[in-house]
Structure 1
Amino acid sequence: MGTHAATMRVRAGVRSSPLLLHAGTPPTAAAAESGMRTLVTGSSGHLGEALVRTLRARGADVVSLDSRPSRYTNIVGCVSDRALLRDVMAGVEVVFHAAAHHKPQLAFLPRQAFLDTNIIGTQTVLDAAVAANVRAFVMTSSTTVFGDALTPPADQPAAWIDESVTPIPKNIYGVTKASSEDLCQLAHRNDGLACVVLRVA
């Protein structure tokens, strides 16, 4: 399995960088070009909806899952529901995992909700993907995982970020997204699942 050079040296907070790329062919292109059955979790959110629209427009066979109904979601359910994920994953070749509780929800959701969805949910989706012999798994993370690592040294105008920077998350959202990245790395190392993690801003 090849590892692509996927690090983009960026000034913190300006634009996102693709990280932890471990797939032989970019999954988005592969899914669209071949009409692969593709699962998008979090399809009622902004990023998930955009993925569904883009993939369908390019000819992919998209299955979409979210806990909230929308015109872009055809299965309503929770990503931590193992039985549901087992059924949903049947025939799926590529997974885009965008389901998560996000930073703005820190204001009104308990920490346990972030653990349940962002960590347990991610592990559940990974387990189902491995069991179904999925070809590629893409997870959307966040630059929030960097946390205090984004604070520049006193003599520098900005912090320079690449894959070598150790995240220092400042809140439960950042902690759960960093942990989800670790789960993807475990699935890649231990189960051979081709994983891509994208830290988006």
Structure 2
Amino acid sequence: MRGTLNLLDAAVLSGVQRFVFTSTTSLMISKAIRAGLTGGARKAAWLTEEISPEPRNIYGVTKLSAEHLCRLYHIQSGLPAIVLRTARFFPEADDMAHAIDQSDANTKANELLFRRLTVEDAAEAHVAALEKAPQLGFDVFIISAPTPFRPDDCEALIADAPPVVARYFPEFPALYARKGWTMFSSIDRVYDASRARDRLGFVCKTRFAAVLAGLAVEEDRA
């Protein structure tokens, strides 16, 4: 947080025309949301920028505090500041990989449905934010691959996710079976990136459908 404060001070003193802060969707995940089905949740959390976050750890608390600093500096100095709450885009294996049945590639493919984007899309989102910052002033955006799901899917997603996915992508079960992949049995959260689409004019290029298209090409070549 101190580093963000220093950068904001330097930006104002230097007459910088726009500021983009890379935040995280992690700050939106409370202890209850993270506990998911095993914690007693009856439906997946549908997450938008409108919710009041309840960070579960120091990482989330400091990121949220830094977001507030960006807002404050915009109010006090007029500095255009855009906050991007990026979903997962790191190439490394999940830090909970030991507790996940799926392979790393399988896991990342599944997550494109509700909480992941590519590194390339993350970079493009920052370019879009830089371009739009003077026009928007201050705003906060979730950056994640577009989800096919709707809020009324949330009960079914946490109880039994594969049939919900198959409803949107009928080809998915066969393609996954041939690859030896599986879908998560339960999905406990969905990041809604529609605000970034509507106000920032940004949509991630890579989504779950692209993964399925790639699997279909592999099948044709086999």
Whether the TM-score (by the shorter chain) exceeds 0.5 is: no
Structure with the bigger percentage of strand: 1
TM-score, normalised relative to structure 1: 0.38
TM-score (norm 2): 0.35
